[in-house]
Copies of this chain bind each other. A is one copy, B any other.
Amino acid sequence: MRPPNVLYAQSGGPTAVINATAAGVIQAARAARGRIGKVYAARNGIIGALAEDLIDTGRETASAIARLRETPGAAFGSCRYKLKTPEQDRAQYERLIEVLRAHDVRYFLYNGGNDSMDTAYKVSAIGASLGYEVGCIGIPKTIDNDLPLTDVCPGFGSVAKYVATSIREASLDVASMHTTSTQVFVLEVMGRHAGWITAACGLAAERPGDGPQVLLFPEVPFDEAKFLARVEATVARLGWCSIAVSEGLRRADGKFVAETGFQDAFGHKQLGGAARLVADLITARLGYKHHAAVADYLQRAARHIASRTDVEQAYRLGAAAVRLALAGRNAVMPTIVRVADQPYRWKVGVAELKDVANVERTMPREFIDADGFHITPACRRYLSPLVRGEDYPAYRNGLPDYVRLRNAPVARRLARFDP
């Protein structure tokens, strides 16, 4: 009898290290030869699983899989697609089980954030009721760091390292030129609902006078007068000011600043873009020349400056998911458990998907200082180990030599199905 197969799928926004998790899954499964047959990947996430659009990772060389560990993006394709509940759309679940059955998949590993853990949880429950046993393991991945029950989410540490490094560098730039040029620099970062990435920018400010001096968290309602006073005081003291702003900055009424139809002081309608809004406000009210950067996808794809801690955690959670599956577990997610801050030690734990699904972890208030514009020492203690260590990709012709997989399709066995 041939051993059962694994189906691995990537979900939601890519990170710099989601492929490190994929490498962990594939290498662990290859090492378990005899107990695991094929490792399939769903093309474009759950959509590929529903469409029976599967990839045979066995067609990739060992070297390609090793390089996957240092390649950003989602190598098998990902998607934003939330399954309805089994009550709302039973046909989708039946189709998914049909695909798993057709390809003798007994282990379904779903690598994503909140919505994906919810999907994995639903799938974990439906197999048995449809008469097909499948071990369903969620693997955490999100730059937003907002999953509960894990100390950190793979993907976050590398974004944190990137944004902290970037704003440290840009702050040195603006500090150099403030007497005759730009006084204020603003960097917009991701994290629409949770301020973890904004907080990470604060790591760059280690000594008095270091930038950034002001952080605008999504958790702290934007108080224009207080903010302008803080910027003015900083420029009075140093001659310049460096600011990190979350794309999800909100007003006291809970609306996103960048989506409220808010007009800036020049009377221009804002098209979105928290950084530009904040920067224009400063120039209009305080007269300082500004520059603004929007990191956007650069931040979550920046494998060239990944955190080694993050890469290792991403990789090991992939391998752990395979071990959990082989141990017969279902409806669980491997987690990162922090053992000690300093020196940092961590281990892999396990959480139940039912406790993870649809729970969002925002920044604890004690991580934001009293005036709401910076991080506390407790926050720094939490964040600092997560950005430690470098894990440089190989370079070719001066640029990172990221792998492009063959992604050879698996022959279809079922009728077409349009998700």
A residues lining the B interface (CB < 8 Å): 10, 13-14, 16, 44, 47, 71-75, 77-81, 161, 164-166, 168-170, 172-177, 179-181, 185, 187, 203-204, 206-207, 264, 266, 268-269, 271, 273, 276, 280, 291-298, 300-305, 307, 309, 384-390, 392, 395, 397-400, 402, 404
Contacts and interface: CB of A to CB of B under 8 A. Distances in A.
A169 B305 contact: no
Contacts of A176: 10, 14, 73-75, 77-78
Q: Is the interface of A mostly helix, strand, loop or mixed?
A: mixed
Given A207-B404, A268-B271, 15 more contacts: A13-B173, A14-B177, A16-B169, A71-B172, A73-B172, A73-B176, A75-B176, A166-B302, A169-B298, A174-B297, A203-B397, A271-B280, A293-B294, A293-B295, A387-B398
B390 A170 contact: no
Given A77-B179, A173-B72, A173-B297, A164 B273 contact: no
A273 B74 CA distance: 29
Contacts of A185: 297
A247 to B, nearest CB: 11
Contacts of A74: 176-177
- Which of A71, A172, A293 is most buried by chain B, counting CB atoms within 10 A of its CB? A172
Contacts of A169: 16, 72-73, 297-298, 301-304, 400, 402
22 contacts: A10-B176, A13-B173, A16-B169, A71-B172, A79-B180, A161-B399, A164-B399, A165-B400, A166-B298, A169-B298, A169-B301, A169-B400, A170-B298, A172-B301, A172-B402, A174-B297, A203-B398, A206-B399, A293-B296, A309-B398, A387-B399, A392-B392
